[in-house]
Structure 1
Amino acid sequence: MLSKNNVLVILVLSVVYPLVSRYINKSSLGELLVTDDIKNEYDYVIVGGGSAGSVIAARLAEDANNRVLLLEAGNHFDIDQNIHVPAKAFNFVPTDFAWQFKSETEDGRFQGLKEKKTIMNKGKVLGGSSSINACTYARGSSFDFNKWVTKYGCEGWGYADLLPYFKKAEDVKIPDLKASEYHGSGGPIAVSDSYQTRVWRHFLDAGKEMGYYETDYNGASQTGFSRVQMTVRNGVRSSTGLEYLGKQGKKSNLDVSINTFVTKIKIEKNVANGVYFIKHGRKRYVKARRDVILSAGAINSPQLLLLSGVGPRKHLEDLDIPLIKDLPVGQRLDDHVSVILNAKINQSIGLVPENFRGLWPRIQYALFGSGVYTAITEATSFMHFDKSKVDKKCPDIQFLLSSIFIGNNDILNYNDSIAAELIDHYKDAYAVSVMIILLHPKSTGTVRLQSTDPFDSPILDTNILNDRRDVADLLAGIRMFEEFISTQAMQELGADLSINKASFCAQHEFRSDDFWRCMIRHIAISFYHSTSTCKMGKKDDMTSVVDPDLRVKGMKNLRICDASVFPEVTSGNTNAPVIAVAEKFADMLKSELRQE
C-alpha cells in the first residue's frame, strides 16, 4: 500500500514530468533547425523568417532540387518558452523579439502617448509576428480580395483564388466548422476556439440585441458576432516558425540562419544577384541563382529596397543613394486604427487577475493545454455603419472583446499621467474591454529612410486620422460600443462606462461627440496591421511596386511576399491573409519551375 509521501511524489512527478518533457521536446525544434553553415550560393535566398518567409521556405524545400536559404534577423522560437503561451503574447512587445518601431510625432494625434508616438512593432523571431501576436485568426472579407482584382488589376488574387490557400494552411479544430466548405483540415496552422468565460455568452447575446447574430466570420459572411478563432494547437501558439519549419525538422536543402541582419541587395543591370548580411559581427555576401525574396514585413522590406537603390528618385537623391529603379516604395502605408476602452462590471466571472495566480492554472496548462493561459480575447464582431450594406461590401468596424481590464501599457504607450488615470486605478477591476478597430481608414502614411545606416529605424509617418472622415468613423464605432454596453445582456453584468471619464477631456461633457473626439486624439493607436508599402498592382499601375507575380517592377530575380504587397489593408487581423498569400506565392514559384 502506498504511503502518503509516495502518493505525493507520484502526484508531483505526474505534473513535473509532462511539463518538463513538453518544453524539452519543443526546445529541440528551434535549436536543431538553425545553422551557422551558410554556403556561398543558393537557388532562393529569402530575407525574413516571419509569417510569410517561414511558409515560403518550407514549401520551396519540399522540392529536393531547390537549395533554399532563410535569413532571420531575430532568434529562434524556442529561445524563450513563453513565446508558445498565448496569454503571454503582450509580454514580448517591449523585448528583443520585436522590432522597436514607433511612428513619428504627428500634429493633433497621439496626444496622450509617450513622445506622442504610437508603437508599430513587428515580430523579430522565427515565425515573425505570428510568434508574438494575439493569435487571432481572421482572413478578412471576400470583398477585400475581390477588390484586389477589380480595383487594382491583380488578376489571380481574388477570394476564389485565395480560398484554397486559406484552407491548405489550416487545420481547423473547431467541431462545428470541420465540415464547412470554407475551412481546411490537416494544414500546418491549427485554428481553435478561444477560451471562454461566462461573460462570453453575454457578449453574443448583446450582439443579438444589436441585430447581429453569431457567425463564422471566416465563412460565408463576415458580419456578426463570434467566438474568436485562434491560431492555437492544444494550448500552444501555432506560429509559422513552429508549424512550417520546426515540426518538419532540419532539411538538407534548407538552411535557416538566425541573428542574421541583411543590409543590402546586390543589384547589377536591374538583376538581383544576392544579398549582403551581417552575422557574428562579420559582413558577408550570399548569391541567389534564381530569386531574392523579400519577406521582411511591411516596414523592413521597403527599408531594404530603399537602401538598395529601389524607390522614389527624390528621396534617394536626398540621401545620396545611387538610383537603380524609380518606384513608389514606401509611398503608401496602410494600417488599422484603434481605440481601446474598458467598462466596469459588478461580477467576477471574467478573466480576473486572480485567475492567473497560484499553481493550478500552470498545472492545467502544462498537463492539458487548457485554462486561462490559453486566453487572450474571447469574442469578436464585424459590423457595418449602414446595415443595408451587409454582404454587399466590407465591414467598417471590428470589435475584439475580452472579459479582463486591458491595461498593458507596453501596447498602449500612454504617457505617465494618462496611464496613472486610465490604467493604474483599475488594474484589478472586474471589467470588460473592447478594441474598437476602424478597418478601412481613408488616411495612409509613408515609410522613408532616416539615413543610409541599415540599423537606423525608418521614418514612419502614419498620418492616422489625417482625414476627418476617419475621426467620424471611429466616433461611430465608439457609439456602437455604447449601444453594446447599454444592452440588457451587458447591463445584467452592471456594465458601466464611467471608467473612461478622463480628466484630460473634462472640458467636454462626458460621452458627448466632443468628448469622444478628444479621447480619439489622445489615445487612438496604430493596431500593428501595417500593409501596402510595396503594393501589388497591374503592370501599368504607377502607384504599385510589384506586379501580380510579386516581381519588383522592372527588375529580374527580385520578388516580395509579405503584408507589404497587399494593395490595401484587409478587414481584420492580417496574419491569416499573409500566410495564404505566401502559400499561393510558393505554388506560383513551383509552377514556374515546372514550366522551364
Structure 2
Amino acid sequence: MKNKIFLIIFLTFLGSVSLSDYVDEATVDIDNEHYAQPSACSGYCGEYSSRGKRLTDSPPKSRILDAMLSSKMLPLRPDEPDFLSFLRDKYELPKGFKGPLAEYDFIIVGAGSAGSVLAARLSEGRKASVLLLEAGVGESLVTDVPILAPLLQQTDYVWPYTMEHQPGVCTGMVDGRCFWPRGKAVGGSSVVNYMIYTRGLQQDWDGIAAAGNYGWSYNDVIPYYMKSERATLKGLKNSPWHGRDGELNVEDVPFRSKLSKAFLDAAKLFGHRRVDYNSPDAFGFSYIQATMTRGQRASSAKAFLHNNKKRKNLHILTTSRATKVIIDPILKTAIGVEFHKNGRVYQIRANKEVILSAGPIESPHLLMLSGVGPKRHLQSFGIPVVKDLKVGESLYDHISFPALAFTLNTSRITLVEKNIATLSNVVQYDHYGDGPMSSLAGVETIGYIKTNISNEIGDYPDIELLGSCASLASDEGKIVARGIRLADWLYKDVYQPIENVESFTVLFMLLHPKSKGFLKLKSTDPYQQPSLNGNYLTHRQDVDTMIAAIRYIIKLVDTAPFKKYGAKLYTKKFPNCSQHKFNSDGYWECAVRTVTATLHHQIATCKMGPPSDPDAVVDPELRVYGVNNLRVVDSSIIPRTIVAHTNAPAIMIGEKAADMIKRDWRLY
C-alpha cells in the first residue's frame, strides 16, 4: 500500500514538471534546486542483518602490511585504526550542495569499472545532471599496492558472496562452498582485482556481432578500448592497436622475476610466439599488460572520476545502497531509484534514464527486486511482474586451479612474503614505484593455448595460462589461501610442509566453459545476496579441458628454462584424493573439484541479444526489453564467453554505452 501511495504522488509530480525545466546548467543551480527528502527506513534496512559480522572486524594479517605500517608510508592514527582508511579517496557533493537532489537526468547505480567511465562521460560539458550511487567507499593507499590484491578480498572492499553448495566442487574450500568476492568500492572490482588488461579476441567480438548484436564486432569495440587507454608498453610505442590519450594507464609491470623469462622461453620451445595479445594477432605468449600508473593500481575510479568529482552536475554518493528501480507499471517506464543511506530511504527521480552498472550479480538482483525477471520466479516471492524476462538464467564464469605447486632448489627466485616484507622494499616502492611490491601478487606472464580437447576451428584458445613467481605456500597461507577461502585442513596437510621451500605455480583459466549457471532471488530483502549457482564442471568437456591444461603446464615446466632453477612438480597428494594414483586423470579431476576457484568473471546474467533471442534481457543498445528508460551497462550484458578478464571489457562497455546514450538524448 505504501509503495502505491508513493507511486501516485511520484506520477503526479512527474506530470507537473516539464523536462525543459531541467536542461544544461539549470540542472545544477545551487540556489534553485529541490533537495530529496528522505524518510525513515522500515522493513529491510540493515546491510548486516543478513550477513552478520563485517569482514574487517578481523583484519587480515600480512607481513607486507606490517612493514608498510612500520614505515612512514602508512602512519597509523590512534583515532582511526582501520587500516583501509589511509588517505582514502573522498567523494563528497560539490561545494554548496546540501544533499542529493530530488531528481537528475540520469541515475547510475554502481560506480564500478563501467559505471565510473559512464558517469564521467555523461557529465561532460554539463549538458546533463548525473547521480552516481555506490554502496562502497573510495579506495585507499592500501588498495594502490598491487601485491596486496589477494589481501583485499578479505576486506570490506568486496561483497563476500558465496556460491550455493554444489556437490563435487569447491570441496577443499571453507564450508565446501565457492567464494565469489566482487568489488564494493568507488571503482568496483577494479579496486581489488589483479589489474590484468585483456580485451578479448577478434573471434570473440565478431561472434557476438554475428549473433545479431549489431555494433559489437571487433572493429566496433576496438575504438572504445583505445579511447580510454593511455598505453606505455615496451616495444609497442607505435602500435596502431593501443591508445595514448585516454585516462586509463596501461603499462608493463615494473617487477619481473627470473621465472617470467623462463615461462616465455619454455613457451618458445613449444612453438609459441611472442605477441601483443591485445592486438588482432593475439594467439601466443607475453608479459602481462596491467592497469597501473608507475607501479600503482590504476582503477576505473582513479582514471575517470577522481579528477571530475567536483563537477557540479555529477553527484557521487558513497555508502548508498540501491534497493529498487521505481518503474511505472502502466507506462512500463523507469522513473527513479530507491536507495538507503545512513539509515534513511531516498526515492529520487530520473528525468531521462536509470542505468544499472552494479555488476553481474547486483544488476540482475536489482532488476528482479524491481519486477523485471522470470515471471513465475518473481510471483513466488509476491513481486508484481513488470516484464517477464530471463534475468539471471544465463551465467558463465571463468574458473581456475591455483593449487599446482612446483618447488625450486634455488633461493631468492620467488616472492616469499617473509623475505620481501622489508623496510627497504617499502621505501623502494614508495620512492620509485617498483620492486616486489609492484608485482601483481606474483602473476607476471600470460599465454593462450589450444588443448587437444578443443573442438574449435583454427587458432582459438580454450585455456589461458598465467605464469607466476609464488604459490599458495609463499605467504604461509595467510593471504592467497585465505583470499580464496581454502580450508585449513587442506592447506596444513599439503602446503604447510613447503613453506620454507621456494615454490611457484602456473595458473590457468578455463576460457569457454560449457557448464552454464544461473542466479535467482533468495528473498525480497535487498540486503540478502541472491542464490548463486555456478554449476561448475557439470559438463564433461570442462573437466577434460582442465586436466589437459594441467598436463600441458607440467610439460612446460619440465623444460630447460625452468630446470636450471631446479623446478620440480610437488607431488604431495590431496588427502581427500588419496584413492587415486597421483598424476592420473582421476587424481587431477578430484584435485580440480577440490580447489575450484573463480577468477571473478561472471557474465551473461543480463544477457544482450537481438529480439529473436529468447534469453536476451537487453538489446544491442543495452536497453532492457519492455521497459522504457532503463539500461544495463556492465559485464553482465556480455552474452558469451570471451578470451578476457572482464575489467577492460566493462570499461569499454561503459564507453560505448555513453556514446549511445548521448546520441539518443542529443547530448553532443
Q: TM-score range by the shorter chain?
A: over 0.9
Report if the CA contact (8 A) 1:144-1:394 is conserved.
no
Which one-letter code corresponds to 2:466 in the other structure?
L
Q: CA deviation at 1:30?
A: 3.0
Report if the CA contact (8 A) 1:529-1:574 is conserved.
yes
1:168 paired residue number:
227
Q: Are 1:363 and 2:431 counterparts?
A: no
* Equivalent in 242, 245, 249 of residue 183 of structure 1: 242
Q: Are 1:100 and 2:166 counterparts?
A: no
Q: CA deviation at 1:504?
A: 2.2
Report if the CA contact (8 A) 1:84-1:236 is conserved.
yes
Task: Label 1:304 to 1:388 Cα distance change in 2 as closer, same or farther (>3 A).
Answer: closer
Matched residues in 2 for 1:427 and 1:588: separation?
53
Matched residues in 2 for 1:362 and 1:217: separation?
32
2:376 paired residue number:
314
* Equivalent in 355, 358, 361 of residue 299 of structure 1: 361
Which one-letter code corresponds to 1:117 in the other structure?
R
* Equivalent in 254, 267, 280 of residue 207 of structure 1: 267
Matched residues in 2 for 1:448 and 1:390: separation?
32
Report if the CA contact (8 A) 1:404-1:432 is conserved.
yes
Q: CA deviation at 1:590?
A: 1.4
2:290 paired residue number:
230
2:214 paired residue number:
155
Task: Label 1:335 to 1:18 Cα distance change in 2 as closer, same or farther (>3 A).
Answer: closer
Matched residues in 2 for 1:244 and 1:495: separation?
43
* Equivalent in 324, 327, 331 of residue 389 of structure 2: 327
**Matched pairs, number:** 575
RMSD, aligned CA:
2.2
2:524 is paired with a residue whose SS is coil
Matched residues in 1 for 2:654 and 2:106: separation?
15
Q: CA deviation at 1:413?
A: 1.8
Q: Are 1:590 and 2:662 counterparts?
A: yes
For residues 46-67 of structure 1, give each alpha carbon's deviation from its aligned partner in whole angstroms, at most 9, with x where no partner exists.
0000000001000111131110
Structure 1: 5+ residue stretches without partners: 1-14
Matched residues in 1 for 2:423 and 2:207: separation?
50
Report if the CA contact (8 A) 1:346-1:495 is conserved.
yes
Matched residues in 1 for 2:456 and 2:241: separation?
19
Q: CA deviation at 1:249?
A: 4.0
1:433 paired residue number:
505
Which one-letter code corresponds to 2:398 in the other structure?
H
Matched residues in 2 for 1:558 and 1:103: separation?
28
Report if the CA contact (8 A) 2:610-2:619 is conserved.
yes
For residues 362-391 of structure 1, give each alpha carbon's deviation from its aligned partner in whole angstroms, at most 9, with x where no partner exists.
111111111111102111111112599999
1:30 is paired with a residue whose SS is coil
Matched residues in 2 for 1:213 and 1:424: separation?
37
* Equivalent in 90, 94, 110 of residue 30 of structure 1: 90
Deviates more, 1:26-35 or 1:577-586: 26-35
For residues 511-555 of structure 1, give each alpha carbon's deviation from its aligned partner in whole angstroms, at most 9, with x where no partner exists.
111111111111122221111100100022111100001000011
For residues 72-95 of structure 1, give each alpha carbon's deviation from its aligned partner in whole angstroms, at most 9, with x where no partner exists.
000112xx3101111111111121
Normalising by structure 1, what TM-score? 0.93
For residues 26-53 of structure 1, give each alpha carbon's deviation from its aligned partner in whole angstroms, at most 9, with x where no partner exists.
9485355788721000000000000000
Matched residues in 2 for 1:210 and 1:561: separation?
40
* Equivalent in 69, 74, 84 of residue 136 of structure 2: 74
Q: Are 1:374 and 2:446 counterparts?
A: no
Q: Are 1:549 and 2:621 counterparts?
A: yes
Which one-letter code corresponds to 1:342 in the other structure?
A
Matched residues in 2 for 1:483 and 1:465: separation?
24
Task: Label 1:358 to 1:427 Cα distance change in 2 as closer, same or farther (>3 A).
Answer: same
Normalising by structure 2, what TM-score? 0.83
Q: Are 1:217 and 2:277 counterparts?
A: yes
For residues 158-177 of structure 1, give each alpha carbon's deviation from its aligned partner in whole angstroms, at most 9, with x where no partner exists.
11001011111111111311
Which one-letter code corresponds to 2:217 in the other structure?
G
1:403 paired residue number:
469
Deviates more, 1:113-122 or 1:428-437: 428-437
Matched residues in 1 for 2:498 and 2:99: separation?
52
Matched residues in 1 for 2:455 and 2:614: separation?
31
Structure 2: 5+ residue stretches without partners: 1-69, 76-82, 474-479
Q: CA deviation at 1:593?
A: 2.4
Report if the CA contact (8 A) 2:283-2:459 is conserved.
no
1:347 paired residue number:
410
Matched residues in 2 for 1:113 and 1:181: separation?
44
Matched residues in 2 for 1:328 and 1:531: separation?
14
Matched residues in 2 for 1:441 and 1:397: separation?
10
Deviates more, 1:482-491 or 1:163-172: 482-491
Task: Label 1:476 to 1:33 Cα distance change in 2 as closer, same or farther (>3 A).
Answer: farther
Which one-letter code corresponds to 1:468 in the other structure?
R
| Identical counterparts, % of pairs | 37
Matched residues in 2 for 1:62 and 1:593: separation?
14
1:46 is paired with a residue whose SS is strand
Q: Are 1:272 and 2:338 counterparts?
A: no
Which one-letter code corresponds to 1:357 in the other structure?
A
Report if the CA contact (8 A) 1:223-1:390 is conserved.
no
For residues 218-257 of structure 1, give each alpha carbon's deviation from its aligned partner in whole angstroms, at most 9, with x where no partner exists.
1132221111111100111100111100133411110000
Report if the CA contact (8 A) 2:323-2:340 is conserved.
yes
Q: CA deviation at 1:153?
A: 0.8
